[in-house]
Homo-oligomer: A and B are copies of this chain.
Amino acid sequence: MAKAKKQPRPKAVTPKGFRDYFGEEVTQRSHMLGQIADVYHHYGFDALESSAVETVEALGKFLPDVDRPNEGVFAWQEADENDKGDWMALRYDLTAPLARVYAQHRNDLPSPYRRYAMGPVWRNEKPGPGRYRQFYQCDADTVGTASMAADAEICMMLSDTLERVGIPRGDYLVRVNNRKVLNGVLEAMGLAEDDPKRDDVLRTIDKFDKVGEAGVRELLTKGRLDASGAFIDGVGLGDAQADPVIAFLTSKAADVAGTMANLHNAVGDSKVGVEGINELEQIGELLAAGGYGDDQVLIDPSIVRGLGYYTGPVFEAELTFEILDEKGRKRQFGSVSGGGRYDGLVKRFTGQEVPAVGVSIGVDRLLAALREKGRLAATPTGPVVVTVMDRARMADYQAMVAELRNAGIRAEVYLGNPKNFGNQLKYADKRNSPIAVIEGGEEKERGVVQIKDLRVGTLVSQSSSDNQKWAENLQQKTVDRSSLVSSVSEMLKRGSPRLDAEGNIVDASGSLLLPKEYLL
């Protein structure tokens, strides 16, 4: 074999827009995915895992939120003899592969087909802060039924899921709206389905959050001077023509019945509009029958996000608690999940319309929310580290670590160069180890080991240097070699020692370890 030419060293960098996840970042996510899968499974949804790769043809041009249908995916051409292989691409979401799978396997799948899927998706987009080109989605969809019971079920399941992962009632809200009601509003305004002004109206509705009722009215009619002093052209509708939009956006009343009455006003006698309202009423009844209250799932015509993509009911789950943004301002955490009813995805393949409804949870955002709220284990616990005092007695240390593991304690032996003991403790610190085990030659002779509580370190730094002595006492214990496991186990159980409000040293549960009188 000819020797390869000397090449410059490759750069060790994560590709642009991608990132690595370490330790707890990985395990917390997989724990959450497990919890979500559990709820989905409980509702009768079955798992589906399709491959990351699809043909570009099968993926289609259905990228939501994106105006450039041909961009946005990572794609390549398969090599074959004539270099004319198929184009392949990484999936950009979990819905397009579902449509392909359903079209391909529909004769073998139960109908309706409830499935959930979780995994990474890829977007070939300009990365930004906190915006990566690979991220997780976690979807549940019901394919093959037009029944509103499917939509209601997904709302209930979303509510259950949020509570299951640790968002208590009151800290979230699933809001439900219906694209058909909006279509009814457009009809009531006298805008035909192909009227280009429909798009203008949709864009204006999206600004309701920012400019309010009066602002929307101005934008729909004669135009508006914005905060910077620039004039924004209006859509040019008459004042009366704008009324249904305003009625729609402000239709939320104190109770569902009131909201429904307002919506009826907004859509007038538009057939599709009335159908949409009936669907919302059905969903409301089913939610009530399932025992879900307005504090969990709410019919709310003010949510408009995603209305463009969906064809019937739409849902959005928001976290309602406040966090501080990067500039220290309070703001609501916002949306962590969205979904709705969509048609046409399967039809692309089969020619037959197949009604479907689904939801997608932004797992990484939800994790971020739980971190913000301190609902994820704050300090992950590293392994107990058995230090190496005598390189020739590795087998002794190995035996200790095996005993600890067999007792269910996460433990490891130090595998680096044991010469410098300080390095071993630095290593244990980096590993977040709660405890180090030490057995030098002297201890070995006496049949004892020392166990050192590494969590006391922070305590020491909180106290005067005069208190080093008791800290050391609390920190280090000499125990019989034969009681290694029980002593480590006990020390683990007492948790991180800390100072209480009075200045005593207590264990994690608040039990007294050392009264303040003993402290200098």
Name A382-425 residues within 8 Å CB distance of B. 382-383, 385, 394-399, 401-402, 405-406, 408, 410-413, 415-416
> With A and B bound together, what is the CA distance between A21 and B86 in angstroms?
23
Which residues of chain B have C-beta atoms less than 8 A from A43's C-beta?
Answer: 383, 405, 410-412
Q: Contact at B105–A88, with CB atoms within 8 Å?
A: no
Q: Contact at A52–B11, with CB atoms within 8 Å?
A: no
Q: Contact at A134–B52, with CB atoms within 8 Å?
A: yes
Q: Contact at B142–A110, with CB atoms within 8 Å?
A: no
> With A and B bound together, what is the CA distance between A27 and B286 in angstroms?
30
Shortest CB–CB separation between residue A435 and chain B, in angstroms? 13
Q: Contact at A58–B110, with CB atoms within 8 Å?
A: no
Interface stretch, picked from A230-238, A257-265, A266-274, A343-351, is: A343-351
Q: Contact at B14–A416, with CB atoms within 8 Å?
A: no
A86 nearest in chain B by CB position? B15
Given A75-B76, A413-B153, are A26 and B47 neighbors across the interface (CB < 8 Å)?
yes
Given A23-B46, A412-B43, are A398 and B348 neighbors across the interface (CB < 8 Å)?
no
Picked from B16, B20, B51, B60, the residue with its CB within 8 Å of the CB of A14 is B51
Q: Contact at A46–B58, with CB atoms within 8 Å?
A: no
Q: Contact at A104–B12, with CB atoms within 8 Å?
A: yes
Asked if A430 lies at the interface with its beta carbon under 8 angstroms from chain B, I say: yes
Picked from B22, B57, B142, the residue with its CB within 8 Å of the CB of A11 is B57
Which residues of chain B have C-beta atoms less than 8 A from A397's C-beta?
Answer: 149
> With A and B bound together, what is the CA distance between A397 and B112 in angstroms?
17
Asked if A289 lies at the interface with its beta carbon under 8 angstroms from chain B, I say: yes
Which residues of chain B have C-beta atoms less than 8 A from A60's C-beta?
Answer: 10
Q: Contact at B42–A405, with CB atoms within 8 Å?
A: yes
Shortest CB–CB separation between residue A5 and chain B, in angstroms? 12
Name A73-89 residues within 8 Å CB distance of B. 74-76, 86, 88
Asked if A513 lies at the interface with its beta carbon under 8 angstroms from chain B, I say: no
Q: Contact at B15–A53, with CB atoms within 8 Å?
A: yes
Given A112-B415, A383-B44, A411-B44, are A101 and B286 neighbors across the interface (CB < 8 Å)?
no
Residue total for A at the interface (Cβ-Cβ under 8 A): 101
> With A and B bound together, what is the CA distance between A15 and B55 in angstroms?
6
Asked if A18 lies at the interface with its beta carbon under 8 angstroms from chain B, I say: yes
Asked if A248 lies at the interface with its beta carbon under 8 angstroms from chain B, I say: no
Q: Contact at B22–A46, with CB atoms within 8 Å?
A: yes
Asked if A330 lies at the interface with its beta carbon under 8 angstroms from chain B, I say: no
Which residues of chain B have C-beta atoms less than 8 A from A21's C-beta?
Answer: 47-50
Which residues of chain B have C-beta atoms less than 8 A from A493's C-beta?
Answer: none
Name A17-36 residues within 8 Å CB distance of B. 18-27, 30, 34
Picked from B41, B76, B145, the residue with its CB within 8 Å of the CB of A415 is B145
Q: Contact at B44–A26, with CB atoms within 8 Å?
A: no
Q: Contact at B27–A48, with CB atoms within 8 Å?
A: no
Q: Contact at B9–A111, with CB atoms within 8 Å?
A: no
Picked from B18, B101, B133, B416, the residue with its CB within 8 Å of the CB of A112 is B416
Shortest CB–CB separation between residue A147 and chain B, in angstroms? 5
Asked if A452 lies at the interface with its beta carbon under 8 angstroms from chain B, I say: no
A24 nearest in chain B by CB position? B47
Given A10-B349, A149-B398, A430-B110, are A415 and B142 neighbors across the interface (CB < 8 Å)?
yes
Shortest CB–CB separation between residue A33 and chain B, in angstroms? 8
A4 nearest in chain B by CB position? B61
Asked if A156 lies at the interface with its beta carbon under 8 angstroms from chain B, I say: yes
Q: Contact at B58–A349, with CB atoms within 8 Å?
A: no
Q: Contact at A52–B402, with CB atoms within 8 Å?
A: no
Which residues of chain B have C-beta atoms less than 8 A from A341's C-beta?
Answer: none
Picked from B25, B27, B51, B145, the residue with its CB within 8 Å of the CB of A41 is B27
Q: Contact at A348–B49, with CB atoms within 8 Å?
A: no
Other than A10-B60, A148-B394, give 18 A-B pairs with Cβ distance below 8 A.
Answer: A10-B348, A13-B100, A20-B50, A21-B48, A21-B50, A24-B47, A30-B34, A43-B405, A44-B431, A51-B120, A53-B74, A53-B122, A149-B397, A149-B415, A152-B398, A286-B395, A289-B402, A291-B406
Some 6 contacts from A to B, beta carbons below 8 A apart, are A22-B48, A23-B48, A110-B427, A110-B431, A112-B416, A289-B399
